[in-house]
Structure 1
């Protein structure tokens, strides 16, 4: 396993009036920050404006950066929090990969484990406490980006090694708050119908996310998660605690997924990690494997396919004897995505075949699937495999060969999602994917047809992920085929109908 520089802790130094220096002693030019800055193509004034805009989004209205301040950072001045976090997020977004605070030659301040890193205690009471603290903070600090920019993403060994502890068995006495003899005899104040209702509410939230995207109901999910952690802080019979941990795990995963969908990447990762802890307390290995697959998808999105592959292999190993064929097929499909982004076509194709074969086993019936994996339909299988071929094409320099492999599979996904009113976000993402395939095949006119359809769906779906992919596809079309009339019309259309704006979360 390679060695990566990662940011593990959230900063907490007192904030100066304009993000000034924590110390000027022995100041030396910051060569690391300078390197990232030069490659970004930004001017000092442009970076200063972006820092100020992001600071306002997170409620830090006292931040007022200018070109002279940026110059001092490049000369070696160490800015105080939250400037290092803001710079890390801005450069990560610019380059499409994790650019940690340390990668910028900046220092981080220590914070308590409740709000920092991913290496958390694997014990029931601590998991409940951390879920409660984090969900409460998310609800209180409701401005877009505040909580997200006060966290740092973990990657490489700092992420993988703590997640491997998921495989260590949990002592039965660690489930929830330890029961005394009196509490063991006391009946739970939660009846079975009430527990059933909590579980069905989670299913409803998941349906809303698929239909409307992560931006519409995220805070409702976080609020429900906080209520469930309140219940877990009360003495509960073991079987009730187990069901509550399962509900908490599903809600935390969904909160993470919605955060990922609207672009709050550090917040998403924190929820995923806490969800995995809760799934472990619930002794639900298949659910844990699903959470790890969500983490893997996020790492692919952030340009860390090696980390994605490690997470998927951990998921496969941990659930190898208990996951349903549908879940196993989904894990193979994500394995293919990781191999594609690593530029390993033979392993990618093998994982695609395994996903198809295993999904065929799911069609034969057998053990019923849990609700969280029912999204993985024939349409989703085709969409994932087509995106693997498309990603291979990108890694191979927009190879027409791999693009031709993606086209029929992606077309099938588009056809199936077009008949599915419940998964509109997936429909939009596959329309965009098909548009990119046509671009790689030098067919800009066909690209615009699909992109225009995707715009119509995107306007109904609150998903920054959809909007970002759509804008990038249109930008690529404009760069490569700016003289094509259909592309010019598409560029005007997206500027008018899908302008960039802050997402409500």
Structure 2
């Protein structure tokens, strides 16, 4: 059964212009009107989805208005098309086509580049996250992604994007992503440079690498938004990054992105949905390198630990440990090299603590803090987790000692996730605030900077 039309304004214009039963003809005229933007492949199915709520990019809307104006013999304003403002648009839907992914990427990058108030964007949507997982896992591969547009894109151009992604990743790990200006700067680059490249001229091979690099940048921006507490924007970006990874035929990076979505769901307390997302990532990764599997199973363990499913949690944790033991034997993708024994120890510390197995959890505390120097934010997260675990185990002295360490060494980090861990520690210690040492630690934690 066809879905009901939700954009009556656009439907009315199509009818008035004689395209009511000729959606394919309208799409052909639209492709012709947008020929300077590259090779568009919109068809009757594209029109179907536009009528039912999907919002095309600003440049596509301009071409729509131009096409309809010629048929109606009058000016047509973009505002007449009924798509509304970008700010009111829900863009967590997994796009069905590469063109749809590029259009939506341009929208959300433009939105982030222009607006510096992240909390206005909405909340995380578990239902759309699961739909995105299904689309990524089961949609057919794209038949062709090569394109002919204004700008020629080469492999050298694409390699420069990976260098930029590495730069932003390093900044994120060292300082956190609390400042919206850093994310706005990155989004502005994506709008001005990457969107132009995605609409350029490239072969199939270059196109796949371009899609992969764009997915890497979009995925990094998603993680930065998640760290800043802007959860709707993070979900929007990781959803588009998954679709770009699908276009690149890179199932491993797609699985990594899906695990990031699961990690975000755990952070927000959606443990059952997080477990489903993590298992979908493991299933989609298939016969992956051991380091990738270690990261994916660690994510599943965190989800199961939060939902108090002890057996599943411990099984996933054991699988992650065995996989990480094998990781040095085979090459791994560059984006998973960050996942070290310390990261796995942090995951074990968290999920075993969630299971109230505090002694077992604290056995991992030393390893969780054996981190490379650039992992400043992870060190803060793990330090806070050690303090919280001691507090929940009833060792107030140790909790206060780690709390003081956290306050002293994490003052330069801007991260909503670190702040949440600080609040967890303060809430756990606050019943004993009559104690002078607890009161001192609570005041030190309260003085720590906010994310923005």
Matches of 2:93 and 2:444 in 1, distance apart?
A: 46
Name the structure 1 match of 2:358.
403
Q: Deviations over 1:309-363 (max 9, x none)?
A: 1111111111112x21101011111111111111111111111111100111102
Q: 1:150 to 1:194 in 2, by over 3 A?
A: closer
Matches of 1:450 and 1:151 in 2, distance apart?
A: 34
**Residues 299 and 305, structure 1, Cα contact 8 Å, conserved in 2:** yes
Name the structure 1 match of 2:386.
434
Name the structure 2 match of 1:484.
435
Matches of 1:317 and 1:488 in 2, distance apart?
A: 48
Name the structure 1 match of 2:170.
207
Matches of 2:201 and 2:390 in 1, distance apart?
A: 58
Name the structure 1 match of 2:227.
261
Q: Deviations over 1:32-51 (max 9, x none)?
A: xxxxxxxxxxxxxxxxxxxx
Structure 1 residue 214 displacement after superposition: 1.3
Name the structure 1 match of 2:53.
none
Name the structure 2 match of 1:83.
none
**Residues 400 and 438, structure 2, Cα contact 8 Å, conserved in 1:** yes
Question: Is 1:379 aligned to 2:342, yes or no?
Answer: yes
SS at match of 1:291: helix
Q: 1:150 to 1:201 in 2, by over 3 A?
A: closer
**Residues 294 and 321, structure 2, Cα contact 8 Å, conserved in 1:** yes
Structure 1 residue 112 displacement after superposition: 8.3
Name the structure 1 match of 2:444.
493
SS at match of 1:448: helix
Matches of 1:241 and 1:110 in 2, distance apart?
A: 30
Matches of 2:155 and 2:298 in 1, distance apart?
A: 36
SS at match of 1:119: coil
Matches of 2:241 and 2:435 in 1, distance apart?
A: 48
Structure 1 residue 253 displacement after superposition: 1.1
Structure 1 residue 110 displacement after superposition: 9.3
Matches of 1:301 and 1:128 in 2, distance apart?
A: 28
Question: Is 1:329 aligned to 2:294, yes or no?
Answer: yes
Farther off after superposition, 194-203 or 300-309: 194-203
Structure 1 residue 488 displacement after superposition: 0.8
Structure 1 residue 468 displacement after superposition: 2.4
Q: 1:381 to 1:160 in 2, by over 3 A?
A: same
Matches of 1:168 and 1:327 in 2, distance apart?
A: 20
Q: Deviations over 1:108-161 (max 9, x none)?
A: x9968993153333211110111011101111122x22xx424343114x4313
Q: 1:358 to 1:171 in 2, by over 3 A?
A: closer
SS at match of 1:442: coil
Matches of 1:413 and 1:161 in 2, distance apart?
A: 34
SS at match of 2:202: coil
The TM-score with structure 2 as length reference comes to 0.77
SS at match of 2:153: coil
Larger helix proportion of the pair: 2
Correspondences of 1:424-463 after superposition (within 5 Å): 424-463=376-415
Structure 2, unpaired ranges of 5+: 1-5, 7-81
Correspondences of 1:86-485 after superposition (within 5 Å): 115-142=89-116, 144-145=117-118, 148-156=119-127, 158-175=128-145, 177=147, 179=148, 189-216=152-179, 217-226=182-191, 227-321=193-287, 323-363=288-328, 365-366=329-330, 368-393=331-356, 402-414=357-369, 416-417=370-371, 420-479=372-431, 481-485=432-436
**Residues 123 and 174, structure 1, Cα contact 8 Å, conserved in 2:** no
**Residues 252 and 275, structure 1, Cα contact 8 Å, conserved in 2:** yes
SS at match of 1:127: helix
SS at match of 2:314: helix
The TM-score with structure 1 as length reference comes to 0.69
**Residues 222 and 251, structure 1, Cα contact 8 Å, conserved in 2:** no
SS at match of 2:404: helix
Matches of 1:268 and 1:277 in 2, distance apart?
A: 14
Name the structure 2 match of 1:43.
none
Correspondences of 1:4-153 after superposition (within 5 Å): 115-142=89-116, 144-145=117-118, 148-153=119-124
Name the structure 2 match of 1:12.
none
Q: 1:280 to 1:111 in 2, by over 3 A?
A: farther
SS at match of 1:422: coil
**Residues 95 and 240, structure 2, Cα contact 8 Å, conserved in 1:** no
Matches of 1:151 and 1:486 in 2, distance apart?
A: 39
**Residues 125 and 174, structure 1, Cα contact 8 Å, conserved in 2:** no
Q: Deviations over 1:243-270 (max 9, x none)?
A: 1111111111111111111111111111
Matches of 1:392 and 1:110 in 2, distance apart?
A: 47
Q: 1:439 to 1:305 in 2, by over 3 A?
A: same
Q: 1:482 to 1:138 in 2, by over 3 A?
A: same
CA RMSD in angstroms comes to 2.3
Q: 1:471 to 1:151 in 2, by over 3 A?
A: closer
Q: 1:200 to 1:212 in 2, by over 3 A?
A: same
